[in-house]
C-alpha cells in the first residue's frame, strides 16, 4: 500500500472511530448526569469537554516538545475558532440551541476573558512557563467552581426528593432506600464504561485522522501554521464536532453547547498552558498568529457572548452566520 493510500485509509478509519466514540460518549455522559442528579450542562462543561479536548492536548504537547511551535499554537487557536463557528453553526442547524443563564453569566464571559489573557500573554512573541502556569491555575480554579456548583445543585435535588417521600411509611421508605442505593451504584457502572470507551475511540480516531490529513497536506507544501490552524485544528476538534452534533440530534442541547465552551476553556488554560510549561523554552508565537489569528479567536468569543446574551439561544440563521464566518476565515488562510 503506497503512502498516499495509507493516508486516506487513516482518515476514513479515524472518521468511523470518531462517529462511534461520540455516540457512546454522549450516551454515557447523559446517563451519569441523570443518575447523579447533576445538570447535563455541568457534565458537558467538564467531563465531555475536557475528554473531547484530549486530542488537542496530545497534539500540542508533542508539537511543543518537538519544536513545531506553530502547530502547537495553531492547533489551540484554530480549534477555538472552529469550535464556535463550525460546531455551534452545524449543531444549531440541526436544532436551535437553548443557552442556559449560567453560561451567559459565567462560563462564556470567562471564555472571553481567558481568550484575551492568552492573546496578551502571547503578545511578546512567547508564552513562557510563568504564562503557562497562570493559564493552568485558571483551569484549576474553574474546575473547583464547577464541582462546587454541581454539589450545590445535586444537594437541592436530593432535598426536593426527600421532601416528597416524607409522607411514606418508614419500612417502605427503608426498602426503597436500600433498593435505590443498589440501583445507584449499578446504574453508574455501564455509563462510566461507555464514557471511557467513547474517550478512547475519540482519541485514537482523531490521531489517525490528523496523521493522515497532515501527511496529505505536507505533500502539498502547506506551512506548519496553516496546517495547525486548519487541518490539525479541525481534526483534533472532530471529537467535539461529533459529540455536539450527536448531542443535538438526541436533544441533549446543554451538552452540545457546554461541550464547546468547556473545550475552548480547556484548550487555552490546559493545552496552551501545559504545552508552555513542558516546552524547554516556552512556546514561541508567530507574528501572523498574534496580529490576525488570535484577534479572530477573541472576536469569535465575543460574538458568541453577544448572541447568547441577546436571545439566550442560537437560532438556525445565527448558525448559518457562524458557518459563513468559518468559510470566510478558512478561505482567507488558504488564499493568504
The mean pLDDT of the chain is: 80
DSSP output for 76-136: HHHHHHHIIIIIIHHHHHHSPEE--HHIIIIIHHHHHHHHHHHHHHHTTSEE-HHHHHHHH
18, 117, 264, 320 from 238: Cα distances, Å? 7, 26, 13, 19
Residue 223 DSSP SS3 = coil
79, 105, 258, 285 from 136: Cα distances, Å? 18, 22, 20, 18
Q: What pLDDT does 184 receive? A: 61
Burial bucket for residue 234 (CB in 10 Å: 0-12, 13-18, 19+): buried
The structural architecture, per CATH, of the domain 3-335 is Up-down Bundle (1.20)
Residue 292 has pLDDT above 90, yes or no: yes
pLDDT tens digit sequence for 147-183: 787 777 666 655 655 565 555 555 444 544 444 555 6
Terminal CA-CA length for the chain: 34
Which pLDDT band holds residue 290 (cuts at 50, 70, 90)?
A: very high
Comparing 119-128, 137-146, 240-249, the range with the smallest average pLDDT is: 240-249
Q: Grid cell 443498589 — which residue?
A: 182
Give 210 or 11, the one with higher predicted confidence.
11
Give 160 or 237, the one with higher predicted confidence.
237
Residue 249 has pLDDT above 50, yes or no: yes
Q: Which of 12-26, 43-57, 64-78, 314-328 has the highest mean pLDDT?
A: 314-328
pLDDT tens digit sequence for 181-199: 556 666 778 888 888 888 8
Q: 111 and 264 in contact (C-beta within 8 Å)?
A: yes
Q: What pLDDT does 264 receive? A: 92
Residue 121 and residue 127: Cα distance in Å, rounded?
A: 6
Write the CB contacts of 232 (distance below 8 Å, at least 6 apart in sequence): 59, 71, 74, 75, 78, 210, 213, 214
What are 267's three cell numbers? 484548550
Amino acid at each position: 500500500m503506497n503512502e498516499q493510500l495509507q493516508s486516506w485509509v487513516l482518515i476514513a478509519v479515524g472518521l468511523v472511530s470518531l462517529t462511534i466514540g461520540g455516540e457512546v460518549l454522549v450516551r454515557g455522559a447523559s446517563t451519569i448526569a441523570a443518575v447523579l442528579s447533576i445538570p447535563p450542562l455541568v457534565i458537558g462543561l467538564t467531563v465531555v469537554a475536557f475528554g473531547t479536548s484530549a486530542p488537542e492536548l496530545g497534539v500540542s504537547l508533542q508539537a511543543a516538545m518537538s519544536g513545531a511551535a506553530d502547530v502547537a499554537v495553531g492547533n489551540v487557536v484554530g480549534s477555538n475558532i472552529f469550535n464556535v463557528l463550525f460546531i455551534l453553526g452545524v449543531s444549531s442547524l440541526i436544532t436551535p440551541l437553548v443557552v442556559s443563564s449560567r453560561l451567559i453569566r459565567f462560563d462564556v464571559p470567562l471564555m472571553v476573558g481567558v481568550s484575551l489573557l492568552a492573546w496578551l500573554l502571547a503578545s511578546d512573541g512567547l508564552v513562557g512557563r510563568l504564562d503557562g502556569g497562570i493559564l493552568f491555575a485558571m483551569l484549576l480554579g474553574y474546575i473547583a467552581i464547577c464541582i462546587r456548583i454541581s454539589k450545590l445543585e445535586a444537594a437541592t435535588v436530593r432535598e426536593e426528593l426527600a421532601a416528597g417521600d416524607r409522607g411514606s411509611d418508614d419500612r417502605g421508605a427503608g426498602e426503597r432506600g436500600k433498593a435505590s442505593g443498589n440501583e445507584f451504584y449499578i446504574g453508574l457502572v455501564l455509563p462510566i464504561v461507555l464514557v471511557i470507551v467513547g474517550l478512547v475511540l475519540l482519541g485514537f480516531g482523531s490521531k489517525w485522522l490528523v496523521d493522515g490529513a497532515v501527511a496529505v497536506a505536507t505533500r502539498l507544501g502547506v506551512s506548519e501554521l496553516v496546517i495547525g490552524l486548519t487541518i490539525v485544528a479541525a481534526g483534533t476538534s472532530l471529537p467535539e464536532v461529533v459529540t455536539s452534533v450527536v448531542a443535538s440530534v438526541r436533544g441533549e442541547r446543554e451538552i452540545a453547547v457546554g461541550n464547546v465552551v468547556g473545550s475552548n476553556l480547556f484548550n487555552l488554560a490546559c493545552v496552551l498552558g501545559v504545552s508552555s510549561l513542558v516546552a524547554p523554552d516556552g512556546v514561541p508565537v508567530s507574528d501572523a498568529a498574534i496580529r490576525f489569528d488570535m484577534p479572530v479567536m477573541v472576536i469569535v468569543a465575543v460574538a458568541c457572548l453577544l448572541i447568547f446574551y441577546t436571545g439566550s439561544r442560537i437560532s438556525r440563521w445565527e448558525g448559518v452566520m457562524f458557518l459563513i464566518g468559518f468559510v470566510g476565515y478558512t478561505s482567507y488562510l488558504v488564499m493568504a
